[in-house]
Structure 1
């Protein structure tokens, strides 16, 4: 899902109007929705729909994506664990974890905030402790109190959180393997892997190649499809996806990295990666929380294709 970006210059007659009114006048309902959902940008920053316009200024409008806005299909039943400090959610697949440049209202975080507000009558202070890709389902940890933020960040940044993912991939991965590579952006901006010797190298974009470390374990082979455990020991963007590609075994549904989008005639609309297990110290008590989450039905549907 992507959003069209339009650049416009505020005219003299539009000066003093709200930015929301201007885009609604120019683009109709699509412009009105873009303003309401947070798709207005000036000087590299998101601006609100009621911001007064000044003649000659440039406004970037991120119009609704193809198919319109979609809110994360989240309900209170997706809550796995909750206390005064933590909210742990079984994130549905095919939805964004946090805000996107074109939408501040449809993410898991935004919908969770609305659900808790309706339930409790108070607007909660929620912060993501980590991220999951849009296509990835499973365990997502959110802080509910500012006192939990620093301990959670320290736990995730310093290797105190154990995570295991279930993945369905194409090909024949080894029974057990460990990959240590470099990780960074390619010239075109996409994430890619680098040789170990390049870890620490400064890229043309000024960023350094970072270390990426994943353990992969085969659970079962189904013809040319495999069910694997993936344990990331570092937390790089698309790390598991890229390491499976390096093994010649891209995730089913991972069109971006060459994964098949159909299996036995079944459409796979997103990468089949699921955050299934997580263990972390509680940010206040320090006690170890062990959280488990079964995969979504599409995993079962694919495996049924193989009997």
Structure 2
């Protein structure tokens, strides 16, 4: 793949400095140097320490990324919300794991995306999953289609620059229409899977807005300001309002839904390759819509 920039600087700089300013990491530069890539200045091959003086066209050519056999291929379908050269955004159904794990079959979203890449004959077969959802949480999952795009997203995640919005249905009635849940989260002592609020956990911040109040429950829009495992589920359970259907954290059951009532509905991040914010929405799944509509009908 080729990525090209024009050097607009008026003072001399090394090629690697310009590349770093555009998000190219040291690890990516090593791949370019040792695995068949190239750095070009005005289409002439150079080293990363080559000095630029201004006005040059700088191109980075990255090698193809060959998939490994550790990730199996699935021919099961995926629902694509957005795709371009650099990113693939998929609407994950509930009941499908994001990535393979112990005792989980190889029909995860990552396996399906690899199968899709192969069917499309993409030269890059490495599956770069950059955001993940619990198996029974539905909604948006972002894949980078190459190493460079992945490193861009990793940086935004570390800087908390990505905006992820969820829709959840929680039990009980929240006191405020808008609030913050700010408690550290760590692994529960008695479970490999479960998380809990604990003083020695990692800082975790969740913001919510009540969208609709229903009998014995509330529909909330949630923004994650940090990305801890089970963060939304843990924070609302600790606040005394576990999600409907969330058996792991004590949520009440409901015949309309057989999983936690949680859906990643919006993702927004800055895409430097197209030089604009990219915003994607995932429609509400049928079970969550049924839960909300059934409870709304009970009010009349």
Please indicate, yes or no, whether the TM-score normalized by the shorter chain is above 0.5.
yes
Structure-1 residue corresponding to 2:166 = 165
2:239 — aligned with what? 247
Are the aligned partners of 1:165 and 1:231 in contact in 2 as well (CA < 8 Å)? yes
Match of 1:232 in 2: 224
Aligned to 1:215: 207
Structure 1: runs of 5 or more not aligned: 1-46, 49-70, 202-208
What is the Cα deviation at residue 231 of structure 1?
0.7
Question: Structure 1 residue 114 and structure 2 residue 133: aligned?
Answer: no
How far off its partner does 1:267 sit? 4.7
Equivalent residues of 2:74, 2:115 under 8 A apart: no
Native 8 Å contact 1:277 1:291 kept in 2: yes
Q: Distance in 2 between matches of 1:121 and 1:101?
A: 28
User: SS in structure 1 opposite 2:206?
Assistant: strand
Please list, as runs of the form range in 1=range in 2, the aligned pairs for 1:261-280 lying within 5 A after superposition.
Answer: 261-262=253-254, 266-280=255-269
Alpha carbons 2:256, 2:290 under 8 Å: kept:
no
The offset of 1:83, in angstroms, is 1.0
Aligned mate of 1:193, from 169, 194, 197: 197
Structure 2 unaligned residues grouped into runs of 5+: 1-68
Deviations 1:153-212 (A, max 9, x none): 111121010111000121111311111111111222431012xxx3xx4xxxxxxx2101
For 1:21, the equivalent position in structure 2 comes to none
Distance in 2 between residues matched to 1:136 and 1:121, nearest whole Å: 29
User: Over aligned residue pairs, what C-alpha RMSD do you find?
Assistant: 2.2
Counterpart Cα distance in 2 of 1:283 and 1:109: 24
Q: CA contact under 8 A between 2:164 and 2:264: conserved in structure 1? A: yes
- 1:288–1:123 distance in 2 versus 1, CA, 3 Å: closer
Give 1:290 deviation, angstroms.
1.1
- SS of corresponding position for 2:265: strand
Aligned partner of 1:75 in structure 2 is: 77
Q: Does the 8 A contact of 1:72 with 1:95 survive in 2?
A: no
* 1:100 to 2:104 alignment: no
Preserved CA contact (<8 Å) 2:99 2:110: yes
Q: Map 1:12-91 to 2 at 5 A.
A: 75-76=77-78, 78-91=79-92
Query: Which residue of the partner structure matches residue 35 of structure 1?
Result: none
Find the residue that maps to 2:183 and give its secondary structure: strand
TM superposition score normalised by structure 1: 0.68
Distance 1:96 1:134 in 2: 4
1:297 counterpart = 2:299: no
Query: Once the 2 structures are TM-superposed, how far is the Cα of residue 102 of structure 1 from its aligned partner?
Result: 2.9
